[in-house]
Amino acid sequence: MNAVVQMFDNAPRSLVEERAIRPPIIGKIRPGIKVLTRNAQGNPAAVKLYNEMVAAGDSYETIGKVIETKLNLRNALIPRNVPHFTCRRSDFSNPDTADEILRLYGEDRGDGLKLHRFPVMFAFDDWLRNVPNQMAAYTTTGRQYFSEYGRDGKRYCKTYAPVERDERAKRVRRSFGGRLVIQRQDDDIPDGICDPHVCPQYQERKCNLSANFVFAIPDVKGLGLIELPTNSIYVLQKAYSAMQTVSLARGRLTGTRFWLSKKEFDITRIDDNGQPVRQKQMLTVLDADIDLGALLDAGDEPQPALEAASRAVALIEAGGNVEVLSQAMTEAGSGTVAQMQGETVGAGSSGIDGVGEPEEGESLEDKRHRMSDLLNRLGLSQPDRQQDFRRFAHLKLGRGWAERPADVDQMNARLTAALDDRAALDDEIMQAKTYV
């Protein structure tokens, strides 16, 4: 183990080690399906070909290309949201992996064996490495524009530099180490800032949020991780809230058995006439097997050791043995037995205005999620400060406070006041340490 970590701490020794280490991806689970467009449904040959290829387990990308090529149709398939995830053999480097996932976690709810809910374990304690995301615009040849944050905290629009030509060789100049990424600066985006309100690609629906959950599935063997894409900001906000809550309670994300499922929500969108319209939509939901109240009320009790999860992370990054990796990921998540409710809140319920005020009909879980957001803003969700906060809360409100809605409201009110005076709260937390 130490040898593996030491290897990645040293200076690069090869061209491969110069580049950022990324865990290998062995497959993809999709949040929905693709169906024929209304125009394509009127073509009997397209319907026949679609049904045959779906039954054969071909990927939707392959199905779309074949139908469009053979029948001379454009954009033959469109996405459709469904109450289950799509786990197909064609989306995995080892097709048997898809069968194993369905065997372990598939359910037959009257429409055949489908993946409705399944456990996942994340390999990193940084939520952004577990759910990388960006704004991106794609063309038929690949990614054209994409967003990246600069050191100044601003979001910039990036693209690839034009290919240079070698006048002596009369050909394009070869690029070493991949295509050169540059900041976009043109008539549409002269300052290079990624601002969807003025971006023509975003307004034309060509540029959208692009994100992927990256995880391992317990008891499923494979040398790498699995992806699940999403382009919903609601899904991303709720997943961020859930991860921050777990990070607050446990001090890290690795070692926690999360669950991914589909749930129907009422979503508000703006129609072409500028009017708000509410519609129901199935969204991916992330929840976790932890007793949040007990962990927040832990006081001086030490956090459980998560050595198995740490071992799994190192093995994934180093390309370790597949059997040991699977065992480590399973061991890391086997210690949690209590289940937390799956309701998570997005940015709409954690804004600055009134963030500490209890809402009518607000559940205890909603209050806790709001508290998690406040702690994150105040820097108290960092690992080196989480234990200090637990001691302060235990001294201020007593054991079991996280299970009492009135005490959670009182804590939220104190944290909200600290947004304007952090020094006073820091002093109270430091004073609480002297009593422990």
Closest of 48, 43, 79, 47 to residue 61, by C-alpha? 79
Cβ pair 37, 76 in contact under 8 A: yes
| Rounded Cα–Cα distance for residues 229 and 275 (Å) | 29
pLDDT at residue 133, rounded to an integer: 94
Type of residue at 394: H
Sign (positive or negative) of CA dihedral 158, 28, 263, 340: negative
Cβ pair 98, 81 in contact under 8 A: no
pLDDT, one tens digit per residue, over 290-320 is: 766 666 665 444 444 344 444 444 444 444 4
pLDDT, one tens digit per residue, over 162-178 is: 887 777 767 777 777 77
User: pLDDT tens, position by position, for the chain (436 residues)?
Assistant: 444 444 445 677 887 777 777 789 999 999 989 999 988 888 899 999 999 998 888 888 889 899 988 888 888 898 888 899 999 998 999 999 999 999 999 999 888 899 999 999 999 999 999 999 999 999 878 899 999 999 898 999 999 988 877 777 677 777 777 788 999 999 899 999 999 999 999 999 899 999 999 999 999 988 899 999 999 998 999 999 889 888 877 778 988 899 999 998 888 877 777 788 888 888 999 988 776 666 666 544 444 434 444 444 444 444 444 444 444 444 444 433 333 233 333 333 333 333 445 666 678 877 887 887 788 788 787 766 777 888 888 888 887 788 888 888 888 898 889 888 888 888 888 887 766 5
Task: Give Cβ neighbours of residue 210 (< 8 Å, ≥ 6 apart).
Answer: 133, 134, 135, 136, 146, 229, 231
| Rounded Cα–Cα distance for residues 200 and 193 (Å) | 13
pLDDT at residue 241, rounded to an integer: 87
pLDDT at residue 147, rounded to an integer: 95
| Rounded Cα–Cα distance for residues 114 and 102 (Å) | 7
Angle, helices 60-71 vs 44-56, to 10°: value is 150
Specify the 3-state DSSP secondary structure of 183: strand
pLDDT at residue 361, rounded to an integer: 67
- Rg of the Cα atoms in the chain: 24
Which region holds residue 52: left if phi is over 0, alpha if psi is between -120 and 50, else beta?
alpha
Q: Is 194 exposed, middle or buried (0-12, 13-18, 19+ CB in 10 A)?
A: buried
